[in-house]
Amino acid sequence: MKALVKKEARPGLSLEDVPEPEPGINDVLIKVKRTAICGTDLHIYNWDSWAQKTIKVPMVIGHEFVGEIVDIGANVNDFNPGQIVSGEGHVVCGRCRNCMAGRRHLCSSASGIGVDRQGAFAEYLSLPMSNVWEHRPGIDLDIAALFDPLGNAVHTALQFDLLGEDVLITGAGPIGVMAAAVCRHAGARYIVITDLNPDRLQLGLTMGATRAVDVRSESIEAVQAELGMTEGFDIGLEMSGNSIALNDLIANMCHGGKLCLLGIQAESAAVDWNAVIFNMLTIKGIYGREMYETWYKMSVMIDTSLDISPVISHRLAYGEFDEGFKAMRAGTAAKVILNWE
Ligand code: NAD
Ligand code: ZN
């Protein structure tokens, strides 16, 4: 089968012929229909220091996908060929304390598809049945391919009650703008999104933000005043991975405000801890998605008019992957869909 492979320990990716995966007794075999490129894939493509530490070559990469089940292992009862599915990319151990307690998203030794084990940028993917999420028949396949990153946005945004609350989102990347759409859907009042990229800020507005702030030329404090806010934001979602943005977020929260941190910070990131203390902020780190409450919420919101389609900037055939990665590197892409059919 064809697959996008990190073949050697250097920048780039190649389209290769590799053996089809052989599903074990607890696995399903999925014929991949669409995939999407994640920032993680770009790290692997660029072969930065994280990728060098993490990826063992050769590796089929990719974890954002939708496909059709074509075969099932002998132990699989709940899935059948023909079902349209995506999959949770974190394969959990099943034996640690959190797994045993049903808190699988807190597994102490999860492995990631397309990172630690063979991934989804391929014609076929074998996945443990415990990681399969079935979509309703007829779902838009491009949207279904985005459930993994949409799940990051949903997991982050729904940590705290949003109804009637004012939300500040730092970073209008694909996950930030999808979070804006989720906050709008969930009944927030003002949703203010920040970035330095005018196209991304515009996308944030398209997807439901009240106000987009280019932090190079505007202050968040001034925008609060413009909106008639006097006490700060109730909820903050950090989705840039930038420490200046993180401190902007902290500085603009109300007393008792709640922050969720998804963006991955540099080790050297400094934080104004006294603002956290004196303003009695709650901070929660967010990783991945909850298995499977986040998946349930996503499915239901997509079925009740949550529209994330504007986040798709490119639809390409899998052979055009280089074009997609180049657009991601240039910052001219939001989500890039690769079609494997
Ligand atoms: P992205 O890099 O495409 O978007 C980040 C955005 O932040 C960019 O548009 C950038 O211009 C903007 N930005 C940079 N500096 C800023 C500043 N000072 N103020 C405001 N905006 C600023 O990333 P993404 O794919 O949307 O993901 C968002 C973040 O979440 C990334 O840091 C990513 O690594 C992280 N992530 C975490 C998880 C997790 O499980 N914790 C999962 C996926 C992604
Ligand atoms: Zn575990």
**Does ligand 1 have an atom closer than 6 angstroms to the CB of 171?**
yes
Q: What is the pLDDT of residues 94-127, one digit of tens each?
A: 999 999 999 999 999 999 999 999 999 999 999 9
Distance CA 239, CA 259 (A): 11
Residue 9 CA to ligand 1 centre (angstroms): 25
Is residue 172 within 8 Å of 197, Cβ to Cβ? yes
The CATH 3.40.50.720 portion of the chain extends over: 151-285
Mean pLDDT over residues 197-222, rounded? 98
Mark whether 314 is an active-site residue.
Answer: no
Q: What is the pLDDT of residues 304-325, one digit of tens each?
A: 999 999 999 999 999 999 999 9
- Which residue, judged by its Cα, is nearest atom 17 of ligand 1? 245
What pTM value is reported for the model?
A: 0.97
Q: What percent of the chain clears pLDDT 70, i.e. is strictly above it?
A: 100
For the residues of 197-265, what is the DSSP string, one character each?
A: -HHHHHHHHHTT-SEEEETTT--HHHHHHHTT--S-EEEEEE-S--HHHHHHHHHTEEEEEEEEE-SPP
**Does ligand 1 have an atom closer than 6 angstroms to the CB of 170?**
yes
Q: What is the pLDDT of residues 211-256, one digit of tens each?
A: 999 999 999 999 999 999 999 999 999 999 999 999 999 999 999 9
Among 5, 85, 83, 34, residue whose Cα is nearest residue 312: 34
Residue 148 CA to ligand 2 centre (angstroms): 20
Distance CA 120, CA 74 (A): 22
Among 27, 112, 16, 38, residue whose Cα is nearest residue 73: 27
pLDDT at residue 144, rounded to an integer: 98
Given 35, 40, 210, 294, which residue is catalytic? Answer: 40
- Which residue, judged by its Cα, is nearest atom 44 of ligand 1? 263
Q: What is the pLDDT of residues 260-298, one digit of tens each?
A: 999 999 989 999 999 999 999 999 999 999 999 999 999
Distance CA 271, CA 244 (A): 9
**Does ligand 1 have an atom closer than 6 angstroms to the CB of 39?**
yes
The ligand with the least distance to the CA atom of 115 is 1
**Is the confidence at residue 35, as pLDDT, over 90?**
yes
CB atoms within 10 A of CB 141: 17
pLDDT at residue 267, rounded to an integer: 87
Q: Across all residues in the chain, what is the average pLDDT?
A: 97
The CATH 3.90.180.10 portion of the chain extends over: 2-146+308-339
Residue 264 CA to ligand 1 centre (angstroms): 7
Residue 249 CA to ligand 1 centre (angstroms): 14
Q: For residue 136, name the pLDDT band (cuts at 50, 70, 90).
A: very high
The CATH code of the domain at 2-146+308-339 is 3.90.180.10
Q: Does domain 151-285 have CATH number 3.40.50.970?
A: no
Any idea which residue has 């993490």 for tokens?
Answer: 54
**Is the confidence at residue 167, as pLDDT, over 90?**
yes
Which residues keep their CB under 5 angstroms from ion ligand 2? 92-93, 96, 99, 107
Those residues whose C-beta lies under 8 Å from the C-beta of residue 77, and which sit 6 or more positions away, are none
338-341 contacts: CB < 8 A, separation 24 or more? 338/34, 338/35, 338/36, 338/37, 338/121, 339/33, 339/34, 339/315, 340/32, 340/33, 340/34, 340/35, 340/67, 340/122, 340/123, 341/33, 341/34
Mark whether 135 is an active-site residue.
Answer: no
**Does ligand 1 have an atom closer than 6 angstroms to the CB of 239?**
yes
Any idea which residue has 């106000």 for tokens?
Answer: 211
Range of lowest pLDDT (40-44, 86-90, 264-268): 264-268
